[in-house]
Amino acid sequence: GAPGTGARKYGKQGLDTVVRLPVGTLILEKSTYELVADLNEPGQEIIIARGGRGGLGNTHFATALRRAPKLAEKGEPGEEKELILELKVLADVGVVGLPNAGKSTLLSALSAAHPKIADYPFTTLVPNLGRVRVEEGQSFAMVDIPGLIEGASQGTGLGHEFLRHVERTRLLIHMVEVGNEEQDPWTEFETVNKELKLYRHGLEKRPQLVALNKIDLLPDTAGLDKLVKKFTQKGYEVFLISAATRRGVQELARRAWVILQTLPAPALEVKLPVKPKGPIPRFVLTALEPGHWRVTGKEVEKWMAMTDFGNEEAVEKLKNIFDRLGLTEAFRTQGVKDGDTVYVGKEEFTYQEDEF
């Protein structure tokens, strides 16, 4: 905000700084990785860091004996925080599978999304989101998760960047390529599920529809009977599709819609910050290298920042605050000596015992 002016006028208030973020953004403390906010609804607002109040002008300190005191405060510093912004896409259905399984092709076949599609692995490097319309008034959000590889749960191939988007889905469509005779579809299916489990226990148990893709590359589907039976015996519902020719994709979408009506939103495991036990000290005085000390504590740092050190009355007021907080006594008992440098927040001063 602006500074106050004469005739007892307040300074003009500063405007809020608004940062617009996509729905699904997690805000985390950088130092502890603790959750500050989960922006999971459109229009949601949260105050992350508050600005400081304005300092009091000299008229506030006027008394019957001191009509025009020279004492005035500087403005209180605003909060400063280092944060991590992490996006987890909000979608009803997540499409997972190994690279080049046809996930992006399925998304483009069912929605107006236009992901990059090519006949080689790792074409998709970011999640793609689309809206799938089943019938009038029936639609769901679907996200194409970039291809997962073995070791994804440990971060291999940007695995963490991809897997976190699976957490907010309610249903998975597991794409398995069957048009390549050199690959074992069941082994590929188990590879992806293993990475889901390793990333977060229970993620592999999220409801899945299995889509055996690229059947257009096979002379017939009779050879798939044994594979389909293996999936169904494990409790999976299987769809034979060709995302490229759109064969079977509408049936898959309709079944996904029906299942979604029975599924609640996934429960997110949020680690709450551990509250410190006992009273929080008003300040901590720490010895650095010889002759150098640091004082930490919100109240001490606030008053230091608000003090005009060119004003004797303001400095005297700060000394009284130090006395009240017990900091003056701490200087003496902990061995702070004349000439030592004391750091408080962004400020520093040279200690002189006779001044305290």
Q: How far apart are CA 213 and CA 49, in angstroms?
A: 49
pLDDT in the model for residue 144: 87
Domains 17-86 and 88-260 share a fold: no
Residue 246's pLDDT band (boundaries 50, 70, 90)?
very high
Domain range summary for the chain, segments of one domain joined by +: 17-86, 88-260, 276-356
* Residue type, position 331, single letter: F
Q: How far apart are CA 301 and CA 240, in angstroms?
A: 66
Fold of 88-260: Rossmann fold (3.40.50)
DSSP H helices in the chain: 103-110, 159-163, 185-199, 225-233, 249-260, 298-306, 312-325, 327-333
Residue 8's pLDDT band (boundaries 50, 70, 90)?
low
- Which of 217, 4, 249, 241 shows the shortest CA–CA distance to 111? 249
Kindly state the percentage of the chain with pLDDT values over 90: 29
CATH superfamily of 17-86: GTP1/OBG domain (2.70.210.12)
Q: How far apart are CA 160 and CA 243, in angstroms?
A: 27
Q: Is the pLDDT of residue 276 over 60?
A: no
Write the secondary structure of 165-178 as one string of H (helix), E (strand) and C (coil).
HHCCCCEEEEEEEC
197: buried, middle or exposed (CB in 10 Å: 19+, 13-18, 0-12)?
Answer: middle
Residue 52, both tokens: 């400081």
- Which of 22, 66, 15 shows the shortest CA–CA distance to 44? 22
End-to-end CA distance of the chain: 33
Give the largest CA-CA distance in the chain.
Answer: 102
Q: How is the beta sheet containing 93-96 ordered, strand by strand? A: 128-135, 138-144, 93-96, 171-177, 208-213, 237-240
326-334: Cβ within 8 A, 24+ apart? 326/282, 326/283, 327/283, 327/285, 327/295, 327/300, 328/356, 330/283, 330/285, 331/285, 331/356, 334/285, 334/287
Sequence-separated (6 or more) residues with CB below 8 Å from residue 161? none
What torsion, rounded to 10 degrees, do the Cα atoms 306, 310, 316, 320 define?
A: 20
pLDDT in the model for residue 340: 93
Confirm if 76 and 39 have CB atoms less than 8 A apart. Answer: no
Residue 227's pLDDT band (boundaries 50, 70, 90)?
very high
pLDDT in the model for residue 50: 78
Q: Helices 298-306 and 312-325: crossing angle, nearest 10°?
A: 170
Confirm if 26 and 38 have CB atoms less than 8 A apart. Answer: yes
Choose the CATH number for 276-356 among 3.30.300.350, 3.40.50.720, 3.30.420.40, 3.40.30.10: 3.30.300.350
- Tens digit of each residue's pLDDT (9 = 90 or more) over 131-190: 899 988 888 988 888 756 444 334 443 345 667 778 878 999 999 999 777 788 999 999
Q: How far apart are CA 12 and CA 3, in angstroms?
A: 7
Residue 333's pLDDT band (boundaries 50, 70, 90)?
very high
The whole-number average pLDDT for the span 53-77 is: 64
- Tens digit of each residue's pLDDT (9 = 90 or more) over 285-295: 999 999 999 99
pLDDT in the model for residue 1: 57
